[in-house]
Every structure is written in structure tokens, then in C-alpha cells.
A and B are shown apart, each in its own frame.
Chain A
């Protein structure tokens, strides 16, 4: 299972490469060693719970932290020794970090003025950047006069105007309300595609990472748990942490019994189940994972080869679009199931139901 493709396997040389990066704060608090690459034009998210080291990694790339070990290569050249202002890497901050004493125009012009860009060219480039984010009419305002979403776009314009080699985002949408966050998410992705810039995006919001990224680096406790496309990470998590952190999942302790054609026969919680994968040796102790939305309730449509389970409903939470169920299997195991809220029949606690799960929807993880 090559769930963590190495840089070489991606074919083209990466634009940004983090190689064996280690940042040691104290003996207990260590990030790394980490290695990953980002191809030109690719959008990669660093995803993990707070304290997992994702922001530290980003700050090492930006130059605000000096790695204890390892190197960071941009187009093959080591940059970890360069001061942040020589790297030409754009960074969009969580709270935007717009300069409150400067107008929007001057905020965007800040980097150009440092580079002593001539007046005519400066005007033209700032104007172009403001148009790119759709806010040319706000040039004379001050940051505090702008809404959160507008400030966010200005923060992006301020980076983009310098034509940075890559763009870094440090949880840029976390200060926005839900609706705006969804809108900005689309806009951000669209902008990144249009500019063709390589992007590294730090977030703790799995939905954001799934929606935006070409590839996701899942991190916890200073280590990389898995690198892969959103689909790979969701469908084929490398371990229990990833399965649990990305979406929700039912994890059952299981033992491999044997193989039956394209399926592995396992024993979990006293039940014999068929999982649609191969390559596990009999007797191995593993974890069986089923996503809650892949379990069908009262399945009259069970196909041949599907697993069927008897369960009793313990709790039903109606959420409009979805109905969340907590069920108890005959063996005492609890399962979560998400089903359509508009299901014809009302399901109530105490009711006995039959669940069906396709063999392909049971995924086996190392324990």
C-alpha cells in the first residue's frame, strides 16, 4: 500500500521540498522529522489538530522559525538559511496582519516600495492586484474600514502583487463566519488556479482541506500520518488516526480469518464480515473501518455478497438533511450511521433494524 507517495514517484521535480525537517522546542516538544514535496502549481494542505506542528512547518518555510535539522528546498535550492525577507514567499496570516496605519493601496504597495519599484509601475501593479481580488474601489480606505472577507482578499493581493514563488496560507479562513468561509474557499481555489501558483495551506478544518487541496498532508504530534489526495485520504486512510480525524468512522477490532476470492473474511465483534480488499494474512489483528454514510438501514436492496447485521437503535438525531443513528449490534458493539433525513419510515430508539454494508465499504487498517 503506497499511501505516502514519495517525491520521486510524482514524476516532475517538486517546486518546494521539505526534507527531514526537524524543529525542536524542548525535549518533549518536537516537530518532525518531516519530508514532503509540493509540485509546481499544486495546492497542498497541512491538516491536523492544533499543536500538531503544521503552523511550525509553515513558519519554517516562511523563515520565521529556523529548523533544528533538515532542509527546505525551493526549486532545488536550500533556503532554510535565508532570512524571511529574501525568500520571496507570500504568506497570508490568520488575522490578515494588514498594517493598520496604512491605506489599502499602501498595504498592497508595501513590498513594491521596499523593492523600489517606480511610481508608474507601482500604481499599475497595485491596481492590477486589487482588481484581481475585486476590490479596486477600496484603495483609499484603511483596513479597519473593511469587512473580514475584504481584509482577507487584501491580504492575498498584498502577497500576490509581489509575484511570489509560492503562496503560504496560515488558517486564513478561520476568522470568518461559516457562510463567508465557504464563499472565500471557492474564491481562493479559483484564484490559485488562475495564477497557477504553488500553494501550501495550513488548516485544522478537514472540510476546508478536502475541498481545496490537490493533496493533503495529515499531521499529528509533530509527525506526518499520511500524504495523499482528498479521495485517497478519505477512502483509504493509512491508519486509525487519519480514519478518525477525516470525517467520522466506525472502527472495529477484527481478526483476519481467511480470503475468499476478492474479499477478506474477518471476524469482528463476533460477526463474520467480508471486506473488499486482499493482502491480509489469516490470524492478523486489524481494524475494520466503515464510514457511517456507507451503512444502509433496513436494507431491502441488499445485493449478493453484502454483509448484513442485526442491530437495535439506541439514539436517533434528526438533523434535517441527515438522520444520525447510534446503534448497538448484537455483539454489544456500537455503530454510528448517517442516513437520509427524508427516509420514508421514521426510525425510533428501541427499534430492531437490519443493516447492510457492501464488502467494498469495509476497509482494513493496521492496528
Chain B
């Protein structure tokens, strides 16, 4: 009884072809190029040296790079956890709030997300800076200024703040789909609020939680502006490494190898998580 699928004429090719071609030229080819380039030989005198080598990858197994890599992954993990901590209650609140409140809440969530990351970081610089809000209060109390900026904590604060909407939006969508009657049923059956959350809401909102974590984590480990402005030279992360090697030291094959590594890491993470979600979606067809 469902409406008929439109008749099969290949009109669709004309509709999807322009974008497909566009993305092939401006997205696929650049990524293939960067992977090819990661096998080129670095030479300080010639930019393009198409002698293939794996030296760029082997070179990554060096202590200073591994420090940077581990720091990046760690900062990503901590900021993702903080985003869950702050994002979950917010997502639940928005999903269950009455329509008008939810609209206003959503506005104040999406608006900061859409303002340039530079500007949001700038706000934190003013708050945490030498003459900023926090140090102003501290000196007013007659205490010593604290070095709040240019350390890992500052970077985590910045990352978590910038990316928390990435956590909230998919989570909210996921929680909205959970019938509120389920919560009421759980309460009616004697579950406390916490038990209801743990046994009903959390398992059913898992797809949203997973995709939120995925979005935040991959954004956090490839962040560049926040660590640069809030972490300074001391908190080097992969994004900074790529930027410097590309635009400052011109070690393009090396930068390509790092980028290729990051591409593989984020996409395999995404595929893994999506496969996981698809499997759990099959198990809970009505969720």
C-alpha cells in the first residue's frame, strides 16, 4: 500500500552528477594526492621528489612526535569525556523540555557553534588571560596571579567548550525518539530516577551518544586553532604539527604522512562506530 517508487528513468544521474563530480575533484583527489605525497622523498631543495619511500612514516616513530601524538589523543579523550558530562544533561533537558523552551535552548546551543571558533577562543583568552576575569578576581583578593593559559588544562577547557554542541545535537535527537512513556513505565515499576536513566534512557540513547563522542573526538584531535591560541608553544598537538610543517618548514611529505595517519585514524574510527551502531540498530528495531 505504500506509494509507488517513481518510475525508473535515469534522471537522477543529471541531478546528483554535478555534486559528485565536484566532490571528486575538490575532495577525493586532494586526499588521494596527500596519500601519494606521503610516500614522496623529502628534499630541502626540491619540493616534488617522486621517489617513493616509507621514510616519512618510519620517521614518525620518533620520541618527540609520539609525545605530540599521545598528548593529542589524551586531550581529545579528556575533552570528549567533559563534553559527555556537560552535554548529556543538556541534551536530556532539551529533548524533554516543552517546545518553546527547547527552541530557545537550541538557539543558544547552535548560535555559539556557528560563531567562528576563533572568536569563542578569544573569549576564553579574556577570561583566563593575565589581566582576565579570573586573575582580576584573584588579584583583587590580594593573591598572586595564576598562569591559567598556555597549558593543557586551558586547551581542554577550550576544546570542550567549542565542541560541546557536537555532543548535544545527536544525543538530543536520540533522546527525543525515546517515548517518554517508557520512563514513566520504569518509574511506575519502581525504578528510581537514576535507575531509569541507567536502564532505560542510557541504553536507548546509545546511538546518539556514540555519534556525539565520535564527532567531538575527531574534531578535538584535529583541532588546531584552540591549542594554538590557548596552549601556545608548549602544548603542541598534531594539528599544530601539520600546520607548521606545511606552511612554515615546508616538509610536505612528512606533513602528508601525519595527515594520512590522522585520516586513516578518524575514518576507521568512524566506520567502526557506524558499524557498531548499525548492529545495535538491528537489535533494537523500534528504538
A residues with a Cβ closer than 8 A to B are 50-51, 55-56, 59, 64-66
Q: How many residues of B contact A (CB 8 A)?
A: 4
Is B4 in contact with chain A by the CB < 8 A criterion? yes
Residue contacts A-B, CB under 8 angstroms, 9 given: A50-B1, A51-B1, A55-B1, A56-B1, A59-B4, A64-B3, A64-B4, A65-B4, A66-B7
Nearest B residue (CB) for A170: B1
- Chain A facing B: main interface SS: loop
B1 contacts which chain A residues (CB < 8 A)?
50-51, 55-56
A50 contacts which chain B residues (CB < 8 A)?
1
Nearest B residue (CB) for A64: B4
Chain B, residues 1-38, CB within 8 Å of chain A (1/0): the string is 10110010000000000000000000000000000000
Most buried by A among B1, B3, B7: B1
Cα A51 to Cα B2 in complex, Å, equals 10
B48 smallest CB distance to A (angstroms): 56
Cα A65 to Cα B1 in complex, Å, equals 11
B287 smallest CB distance to A (angstroms): 26
Nearest B residue (CB) for A50: B1
B3 contacts which chain A residues (CB < 8 A)?
64
Nearest B residue (CB) for A52: B1
Cα A64 to Cα B3 in complex, Å, equals 8
Nearest A residue (CB) for B1: A55
- Chain B facing A: main interface SS: loop
A289 smallest CB distance to B (angstroms): 30
B1 smallest CB distance to A (angstroms): 5
Q: Which 9 A-B pairs have the closest CB atoms?
A: A55-B1, A65-B4, A64-B4, A51-B1, A59-B4, A50-B1, A56-B1, A64-B3, A66-B7
B4 contacts which chain A residues (CB < 8 A)?
59, 64-65
A66 contacts which chain B residues (CB < 8 A)?
7
Cα A159 to Cα B37 in complex, Å, equals 65
A65 contacts which chain B residues (CB < 8 A)?
4
A64 contacts which chain B residues (CB < 8 A)?
3-4
Cα A59 to Cα B4 in complex, Å, equals 9
Cα A50 to Cα B2 in complex, Å, equals 12
- Other A-B contacts than A56-B1, A64-B3, 7 sampled, CB-CB below 8 A, are A50-B1, A51-B1, A55-B1, A59-B4, A64-B4, A65-B4, A66-B7
Cα A59 to Cα B3 in complex, Å, equals 9
Cα A64 to Cα B1 in complex, Å, equals 12
Cα A64 to Cα B2 in complex, Å, equals 11
Cα A66 to Cα B4 in complex, Å, equals 9
Cα A188 to Cα B1 in complex, Å, equals 24
Cα A161 to Cα B186 in complex, Å, equals 55
Cα A56 to Cα B7 in complex, Å, equals 16
Cα A314 to Cα B62 in complex, Å, equals 89
A87 smallest CB distance to B (angstroms): 15
Nearest A residue (CB) for B7: A66
Cα A50 to Cα B1 in complex, Å, equals 9
Cα A352 to Cα B116 in complex, Å, equals 86
A56 contacts which chain B residues (CB < 8 A)?
1
Cα A55 to Cα B7 in complex, Å, equals 18
A55 contacts which chain B residues (CB < 8 A)?
1
A28 smallest CB distance to B (angstroms): 15
Cα A66 to Cα B8 in complex, Å, equals 12
Cα A56 to Cα B1 in complex, Å, equals 7
A298 smallest CB distance to B (angstroms): 47
Nearest B residue (CB) for A60: B4
Nearest B residue (CB) for A51: B1
A279 smallest CB distance to B (angstroms): 39
Cα A66 to Cα B7 in complex, Å, equals 9
Cα A83 to Cα B3 in complex, Å, equals 16
Nearest B residue (CB) for A83: B7
Cα A186 to Cα B3 in complex, Å, equals 29
A222 smallest CB distance to B (angstroms): 12
B7 contacts which chain A residues (CB < 8 A)?
66
Cα A65 to Cα B2 in complex, Å, equals 11
Cα A65 to Cα B7 in complex, Å, equals 9
Chain B, residues 210-223, CB within 8 Å of chain A (1/0): the string is 00000000000000
B8 smallest CB distance to A (angstroms): 11
Chain B, residues 194-213, CB within 8 Å of chain A (1/0): the string is 00000000000000000000
A181 smallest CB distance to B (angstroms): 21
Cα A66 to Cα B5 in complex, Å, equals 11
B7 smallest CB distance to A (angstroms): 8
A183 smallest CB distance to B (angstroms): 27
A51 contacts which chain B residues (CB < 8 A)?
1
Cα A50 to Cα B7 in complex, Å, equals 25
Cα A110 to Cα B7 in complex, Å, equals 24
Cα A55 to Cα B2 in complex, Å, equals 10
A59 contacts which chain B residues (CB < 8 A)?
4
Cα A133 to Cα B112 in complex, Å, equals 53
Cα A80 to Cα B1 in complex, Å, equals 19
Cα A275 to Cα B7 in complex, Å, equals 54
Nearest B residue (CB) for A65: B4
B19 smallest CB distance to A (angstroms): 27
Cα A50 to Cα B4 in complex, Å, equals 17
Cα A182 to Cα B75 in complex, Å, equals 68
Nearest B residue (CB) for A59: B4
Cα A56 to Cα B2 in complex, Å, equals 9
Nearest B residue (CB) for A55: B1
